[in-house]
Every structure is written in structure tokens, then in C-alpha cells.
Amino acid sequence: MSQALIAFIIGAGKNVGEHTAAALKGKGYQVVLGSRAPVIDQVKKDGYFPVAVDVENPESVKRAFAQINQELGPPNVVIFNASISVAPPNPADPLTLPLETFKQHTDVGLSVYAAAQEAIRGFRSETHKGALKTFIVTGNPLPWIPATHLNWLGLNIEKTVQWRLMELLSHAYSKEGSRFYFASIVGETGDIVNPLSAFFTSGPQHAQVYLDLVTREDQADWDYRFTLEGKQWRK
């Protein structure tokens, strides 16, 4: 395995980001925490590397990778954990969502693409020759369940773009050892967790699943669904 274990978490807030960062740090990774306005001194005090990144701006994502590559080296693990969710002013009338707000959601999808482009360059570098290389998007069930949650119009489009992209990239790059995942916590029937509030305390389960995906030798299902118990969900 590569001597340079570097993980970049884009969207490193409480819950999923916080717990995943701690899990990777515990395995010897240098962990980069990407957020819009990092509290630099505190992040460094906690033992992480802070970097500013705006997920609504793909160019910001590219600049963040350039900074990491220069100061630490290319990451062999990238976790895209950021999203936005703005409901239409009238949820029963989804086209009341302003065009600019809709574009914010699609821009997050573009940022996943930009992150994947930057990640694959690092994965292919001599630094990580022979290393385990993994790209994970924090997903949810919106891409495959009936589109009846009108208040989540923007988030639905955002996640559906990411879902399809991870499928394409998994098929394209798994043969060269680069694994791409859309990892989603689901309820008992594969739907949205119930109660939804359970998602906001599921950081430990996400962290364990992500660590398992990062450290396993083979490619698991690219559309990786797991339960609140941290076990893989299957139909």
C-alpha cells in the first residue's frame, strides 16, 4: 500500500464528515477537511488539514485539489459529502423554485464531476501506484424512489446526477483499481430512513461503512446501500 495515505472530505461538517474524518485519521490517514469557511486554527488543532472549498463552484473544487496536491500530495481517498437542499416556496408547485436556486443544485453536480476529474489524476499518479483508491459520494434514495417528494425537487436532481455519474465512473475505472461509490443509508424497504431525523445521527454508521469501502481490496456494489445498523441492504 502507498506510504502516503491522504483523504479529502468535501463537506466536513458535523455528523457524517466529523465521524468519517476521525475514523480515517485513526487508520493513519492525513485527513483534509474541506468546507466553505474552515476555522483553520481549530481544524489544525484537531489534527486535520483545512482547505476552503465552495461546492457550488467547480473551479473552487479544482483549486482545493491543487492546494492539497502541492502541500500534501494527491489524495487516494475522496469523499464528497456536501449537498444543498432548498425547497420551492410552494412545495405543491415545484416550478416556484427560482431558476438560480435550481442552478445551485446542478452546480453541486458539476462539482462532483470536477472532483472526480481531479481525483482520477491523483489515483493514476506514481504516488498511489499499488494503493487502494476510492471516491465516495454521500447519497440518498431520491434517485430510485418515486418522485413524489416535491419539496426536494432540487436535491432530487442534484443526487440523481451524482448517482448516474458514479455508475458510469465505476464501470469505467474499476478495472484500473479506482473505485467509485454512491453510498446511501436507507430504511428497511430501501426507501428514505424513517424517521428522517435518524439520518442526522448516523455519522458513526456512515464512518464505518466508508472505512470498509476504503479498505476493502475489491470493488463492492457501486450503488452501495446500507441500514441504520451499518449493514449492507439488499433487495
Q: Where are the domains of the chain?
A: 6-226
Residue 148's pLDDT band (cuts 50, 70, 90): very high
Please give the C-alpha separations between residue 76 and each of 52, 158, 226, in angstroms, as whole numbers.
19, 25, 23
Query: Is the model's pLDDT at 4 over the cut of 90?
Result: no
Contacts of 110 (CB under 8 A, 6+ apart): 58
Which DSSP letter does residue 128 get? G
Can you give the pLDDT at residue 1? 43
Q: Which residues pair with 50 in a beta bridge?
A: 33
Q: What is the CATH number of domain 6-226?
A: 3.40.50.720
Answer for the pair 146, 206: CB distance below 8 angstroms, yes or no.
no
Residue 3's pLDDT band (cuts 50, 70, 90): low
Angle at 150 between CA 147 and CA 156, to 5 degrees: 60
Answer for the pair 93, 41: CB distance below 8 angstroms, yes or no.
no
190-212 burial: b if 16+ Cβ within 10 Å, else e: eebbeeeeebeebbbbbbbbbbe
pLDDT tens column, 172-226: 999 999 999 999 999 999 999 999 999 999 999 999 999 999 999 999 999 999 9
- The whole-model pTM stands at 0.96
Measured between alpha carbons, how far is 108 from 53 in angstroms, rounded to an integer?
Answer: 12
